[in-house]
Amino acid sequence: MTILTSAFHRLRAAISAIILCAVGISCTAEAQEPIKIAFIDPQSGTFAATGESGYMVLDFAADYFFNDKGGILGGRKFEIIALDNKNSAADSQIQLRRAISEGIQVVFSGNGSAVASALSTAIDRHNRRNPDSQVLFINYAAVDPILTGADCNFWHFRFDAHSDMKMEVMTDHIARNPAIDKVYIIGQDYSFGKAVGDAAISMLAAKRPDIQIVGNELHPIGQVKDFTPYITKIVSSGANAVITGNWGADMVALGRGIMDAGLNVPIYTFYAAYDGITATLGEAAKGQIRLVHNDHANPILSDVRRDFTRAYKAKNPHKDVTQPRLVNALMMLAAAMEKAGSTQPYDVALAMEDLRITTMSGEEIWMRADDHQVFQSLNVSVHTNENIEFDSDNSGFGLLTEFVVPMEETITANNSCRMTRPQQ
Amino acid sequence: MLRKSIVWIVFAIVLLVLPQIFTSIFSISIFTQMTIAIVFALSYNMLLGQGGMLSFGHAVYFGLGGFLAVHALMMIENEEMMFSVTLIPLVGGLFGLIAALFIGSFSTHKAGTVFAMISLGMGELIAASSLILVSFFGGEAGVSGDRTYGPPFFGYDFAQGIEVYYLAAAWMFVATLCMYLFTQTPAGRMANAVRDNPERAEFIGYSARRVRFISFAMAGFFAGIAGGLFAVNYEILTEENLNAASSGRVLLMAYIGGLGFFIGPIVGAIVLTLINSLLSNYTTLWMLYLGILFVLTVMFLPRGLTGFLMMHRVPWHLGKLRLLAVPYTLTSMPGAVFLLGLVAMIEMSHASGSEFVYLGIALNPDGYGSWAFLLAVTGVAFYVLRLTLPRLRDAWSEANTITRKPDHAAKESGGQS
Amino acid sequence: MIEVLIFATLNGLVTGLLLFMLASGLTLIFSMMGVLNFAHASFYMLGAYFAYSISLYTGFWPALIIAPILVGLVGALVERYGLRRVHKSGHVAELIFTFGLAFLIEEAVQFFWGRSTMNYRSPDILNFPLFTLFGQNFPAYKAFMIFISVSIFIGLYYVLTRTRIGIIIQAAITHPNTVANLGHNVPFIFMAVFGAGSGLAGLAGVIAGPVLTTFPGMAVVLGSIVFVIVVIGGLGSLGGALVASLLIGLLQSYAIASNLGMPDLLNLLGVSFASDHPLNDIWRLTLPQIAPILPFLLLVLVLIFRPSGLFGKRES
């Protein structure tokens, strides 16, 4: 049935093109060419779950918001091509070259700051060395501040809040809770884990000097079999809140270890939902996990978002709308292309600077021109099964918004980005 | 001698002409990848194939060489040093050599399990340290450099992929030639002897330890060259370049290609690079297929893909290769259908949604009809395949039987081992 | 401080005994067949996944019995139709075969169960704190893990030293030809031992799955550590495997529990370095940070100075 429908769509588009052509309007061969987007993220291996979910959301959103409504720029449709980077910096470059060979001008990527940073550098270099085949880099998830800081470049646009911005929100929330006076920080032993720890310490010191940091621990990433020894230390430190940047299996294991030990303190974190994590944490973690992110999963803010989520769940009953900022990025990209009247990366990049759009949740987001960082409202959500309209992993549990910081208040000065805009 | 020279000349011409036939950026990037993989796999074969040392940590020398090469690139960029980018692989090679000299000094005392375990331990140690020692290894983000800052080499600044390809191909050619010549030296020959029987080698006055040590150091050197080429091509080195997964991949390459032959690892490197960069574009299950291929190779082709080809040397010399043509065709047709049917079922069980298009046929993963159809096709193909096997077996034994006066070369049983 | 020490000891014991369940099978297989089985931890992972799927229908307790048996059968099949075939090509080929098998099993697990973490839980009946010490719970399930592991050790020791089967197995290790001449089916014994070893690994997976989380990377995380244990303990030595397992378990647990590090050492020596020193990463190292690589350090040291391991009688 779907094949028929899409064939019908294609036929209709072709006929309308012929008619337009006959009348003499917009008769370029290009008009029907799809706008190809390379989605370079892990599609195989241990990290594939995240990449797979991301691709499905992006692909669905492209059809739902644009292609089914006739496309953009007078009938051009988005085509999302998933390219597997195996979560590796080198494979990302191989896939980038493949994308360029196929004439793709937009790259979406984001899982892992190491990969994103390698890709950002590679794209900047490629565009400098090959001005006739430039590429735009839409980073939808990598949160290392350096990407819009010292390492910023003209071709890179970030649609997630970076880790320092998220930490501001997290520490604001902690600061408002007088019951918290001892905080334990534990993270994976790499730049992100360290950045989270350092930011937490300095921000808490400024906001609540009375809070004591009772532990700041780094553990090797992905190698810890059993978190119990770490949890013993957390318990004996007397902490009444835990901050962690852990993700993936390390997050699950840490979370469950804390629950098993009977330690009932809030766990502040960034990545502790979806792709099996919510279901695994389940009842034990109820009301204990506090997640800082930019989504309003529950309560849902607009009917557009509600309809989108329902339509997505109808097509993929076992999946969730895990990263709605992918949709934000696609919407802003489309708006910038319409504004520029072209898909040339240079024109689109200029058009995207200082652009404001309204997301499907009905909120405004803004792309700052100075460093290509997007600003959006951020919130702290809690893992619970009460008042949940859209749960995750079909587990009955989901994320409920508890504390919102509006977009204007998330804006912080950035002095480290020295962006050079290429001359065309 | 002349015949061997011709092989090398043809090899060089192929390297020169390839990127002129397949000109897209992507295919050139695959060729560059292949050249790097070939050097790496050949260096691994110096250990396992020629020296009998099973290493689970060979990526360490590749990675360390590569990391130092990136640091050299950075020094060129910061004008602390001034030399051509063409020499960067040598920097990697030298550092790989130094690392191998150090680690080899204690790990090559014994061969066998002890050596394998030390290589595993050292591999894990260095991979883990690379995440801790951020100033040299750059943590999980790795270190990156820019290859275009060095003095131009005959007007080339290596900004374009094709220039890097020719640089890598040239280095690969030289390295391959050197490694081949090494197998012909007394040291290379002794490596084989020590692999096969260390005691006898000791009796005729060679120290097995020293022979292993020399092979090990040379393998480290060439792995470092491969790492240096990687640094020039990707301009970034990360922890994944020296971890256990990379070490495993090079073992896979060498083994699937065929350990006993000099060109074995070359075949393996080419096949695995193609699987890695092409197959992954068609299916997310490519690692599953790779795993199956690997296990089947170990079980049924212990001498690798090259070993399989080399099995045909006897029929070839007997002039009976054409006897096999018809049975091969007869077997491979149902065989191909059988394999495609299996793959279809694997893919279909993983397809999401209700449409699944395979080889232009629209199938429905939720419907019994599609499953029954595939099962029937695969089952019939399997049955037909079984029917063709006796004929193939007969043809094979016939092709390997001397019926007339044997050729002078018929006794040569293949391989340089 | 004392509570940290007590819990570190308990944790080390739990981990160490769990590791022993894996190491015992591995060392048995090695001493008998001369094969270092790289896929051993993969059988452990299979145990956890099988148990998870079975427990969805039957609950935990039947899964505890059925899953290890299934894993044992898979192991026996692997030996009969895979390893025995490869055996002709020599030990290196066998090692590489198990290496490829580990790779394949990981992919197969992802194929059948997906890449997400499985929601595999300990049974409700054991879901209570056994005792609470200094405000921290010690889950009853962990005591259950200790109980199972100790029973396995005693059972294994009994079978190997006090029963006829054990004596045949021991004889087959050292004198396979003589045992064959006495009319025993040595290939069958090999298959049975391989199956039993895999089943033990499977059992370890069944009881560890709920605690250490069931996910596709769980074999890799444990795989090389088990190798380290078998080599440190001495290849083929059951007692050595026990000592090495407990040693590694406790070593890691204490290392994590401690707060010591290079800064303390430097303070003690009265040395200090500027914070922009090129080796600053080393001067800031702490013991918990390097805890997971300690086993590998130990492995390399043991292999250099005592290649036969702590209790081993032969080298390879």
* Cα angle A394, A395, A398; round to 5: 95
**Residue A197: Cβ-neighbour burial (10 angstroms; 0-12, 13-18, 19+):** buried
| C211–A260 CB contact, under 8 Å | yes
Average pLDDT, chain B: 87
Handedness of CA A340, A343, A347, A351 (dihedral sign): positive
- Sheet with A267-269, strands from edge to edge, namely A212-219, A182-188, A241-244, A267-269, A289-293, A378-384, A398-405
Subunits touching B (CB < 8 Å, at least 3 pairs)?
A, C
Is omega for the bond preceding B198 within 30 degrees of 0, making it cis?
A: no
Strand partners, A215: A184
- With contacts defined as CB-CB under 8 Å, which chain B residues touch A316? 352-353
pLDDT at A126: 92
* Tokens read off for A32: 């029907």
Domains of chain A from N-terminus onward:
33-161+302-375 (3.40.50.2300), 164-293+377-410 (3.40.50.2300)
Kindly report the nearest CA distance between residue B49 and chain A, in angstroms: 28
The mean pLDDT values, 10 residues at a time, for chain A of 424 residues are 46 47 44 87 78 91 94 91 86 89 92 88 92 93 90 94 93 93 90 88 94 89 80 88 89 86 90 85 89 90 93 89 93 95 94 94 93 94 91 90 92 88 80
C-alpha to C-alpha distance for B215 and B225, rounded to whole angstroms? 15
Residues 6 or more apart whose Cβ sits within 8 Å of residue C284:
C261, C262, C263
Count the neighbouring beta carbons within 10 Å of the beta carbon of residue C188.
Answer: 11
Share of chain A residues as helix, strand and coil, in percent rounded to the nearest 5: 45, 20, 40
**Residue C213: Cβ-neighbour burial (10 angstroms; 0-12, 13-18, 19+):** buried
Q: Does B284 touch chain C if contact means CB atoms closer than 8 Å? A: no
- Which residue is listed with tokens 């292309």? A337
C-alpha to C-alpha distance for C214 and A379, rounded to whole angstroms? 31
- With contacts defined as CB-CB under 8 Å, which chain A residues touch C139? 260-261
| B118–C300 CB contact, under 8 Å | yes
pLDDT at B352: 61
pLDDT digit string (tens) for B146-186? 888 878 888 788 888 899 999 999 999 999 999 999 999 98
| B140–A125 CB contact, under 8 Å | no
User: Among B160, B234, B286, which would you mutate to test the A interface (most chain A Cβ atoms within 10 Å of its Cβ)?
Assistant: B234
Query: Which one-letter DSSP state was computed for residue C121?
Result: -
Q: What is the pTM of this model?
A: 0.86
Residue B263: what residue type?
I
Kindly report the nearest CA distance between residue B156 and chain C, in angstroms: 35
Residue C127: what residue type?
N
The yes or no reply on domain C2-305 and CATH 1.10.1740 is no
Nearest chain C alpha carbon to B49: C92
Comparing CA positions, the residue from C119, C106, C138 lying closest to residue C209 is C119
Q: Is C270 in a helix, a strand, or coil?
A: coil
- With contacts defined as CB-CB under 8 Å, which chain C residues touch B124? 224, 293, 296
Q: Is A147 in a helix, a strand, or coil?
A: helix
Kindly report the nearest CA distance between residue C77 and chain B, in angstroms: 14
- DSSP characters for A230-272? HHHHHHHHT-SEEEE---HHHHHHHHHHHHHTT----EEES--
| C114–A49 CB contact, under 8 Å | yes
pLDDT digit string (tens) for C165-198? 888 887 877 777 888 888 888 888 889 989 999 9
- With contacts defined as CB-CB under 8 Å, which chain A residues touch B354? 2
**Residue B205: Cβ-neighbour burial (10 angstroms; 0-12, 13-18, 19+):** exposed
At C271, is the pLDDT very low, low, confident or very high (cuts 50, 70, 90)? confident
pLDDT at A6: 47
- Which residue is listed with tokens 């993220």? A41
Q: Does C222 touch chain A if contact means CB atoms closer than 8 Å? A: yes
pLDDT at A207: 93
Residues 6 or more apart whose Cβ sits within 8 Å of residue B95:
B64, B65, B68, B69, B224
C-alpha to C-alpha distance for A409 and A341, rounded to whole angstroms? 33
Q: Is A223 in a helix, a strand, or coil?
A: coil
Q: What are the extents of the domains in chain B?
A: 2-296, 313-399
Select the residue of B121, B132, B298 nearest C97 (Cβ to Cβ).
Answer: B298
Select the residue of A44, A56, A130 nearest B284 (Cβ to Cβ).
Answer: A44
* Cα angle A8, A11, A14; round to 5: 150
Q: Return the higher-pLDDT residue of C13 and C315.
A: C13
- With contacts defined as CB-CB under 8 Å, which chain B residues touch C279? 135
B211 φ, ψ (degrees, to nearest 5)? -60, -45
Q: Does B255 touch chain C if contact means CB atoms closer than 8 Å? A: yes
C226 near C22, Cβ under 8 Å? yes
pLDDT digit string (tens) for C86-140? 888 877 788 889 989 998 999 899 888 887 778 888 888 888 888 877 777 788 8
* Cα angle B320, B324, B325; round to 5: 115
- With contacts defined as CB-CB under 8 Å, which chain C residues touch A253? 212-213
Comparing CA positions, the residue from B208, B186, B185, B227 lying closest to residue B97 is B227
- With contacts defined as CB-CB under 8 Å, which chain C residues touch A249? 117, 213, 215, 217
C-alpha to C-alpha distance for B291 and A98, rounded to whole angstroms? 25
Comparing CA positions, the residue from C116, C124, C141 lying closest to residue A283 is C124
C-alpha to C-alpha distance for C262 and C265, rounded to whole angstroms? 5
pLDDT at C314 over 70: no
Chains A and C: how many Cβ contacts under 8 Å? Answer: 108
C-alpha to C-alpha distance for A400 and A278, rounded to whole angstroms? 13
Subunits touching C (CB < 8 Å, at least 3 pairs)?
A, B
User: Among C1, C107, C213, C281, which would you mutate to test the A interface (most chain A Cβ atoms within 10 Å of its Cβ)?
Assistant: C213
pLDDT at A31: 52
Provide the CATH topology of domain B2-296: ABC transporter involved in vitamin B12 uptake, BtuC (1.10.3470)
Counting as low any pLDDT under 50, the low residues of chain B are 406, 409-417
Distance of CA A146 to the CA centre of its chain: 16
- DSSP characters for A276-309? THHHHHGGGGTTTEEEEES---SS---HHHHHHH
C-alpha to C-alpha distance for B403 and C5, rounded to whole angstroms? 80
* Tokens read off for B391: 């004929």
User: Among B56, B120, B129, which would you mutate to test the C interface (most chain C Cβ atoms within 10 Å of its Cβ)?
Assistant: B120
Question: Average pLDDT, stretch C223-251?
Answer: 88
Kindly report the nearest CA distance between residue C36 and chain B, in angstroms: 8
Query: Which one-letter DSSP state was computed for residue A421?
Result: P
Residues 6 or more apart whose Cβ sits within 8 Å of residue B334:
B381, B382, B384, B385, B388
pLDDT digit string (tens) for C2-34? 777 888 898 899 999 999 999 988 988 888 777
pLDDT at A162: 92
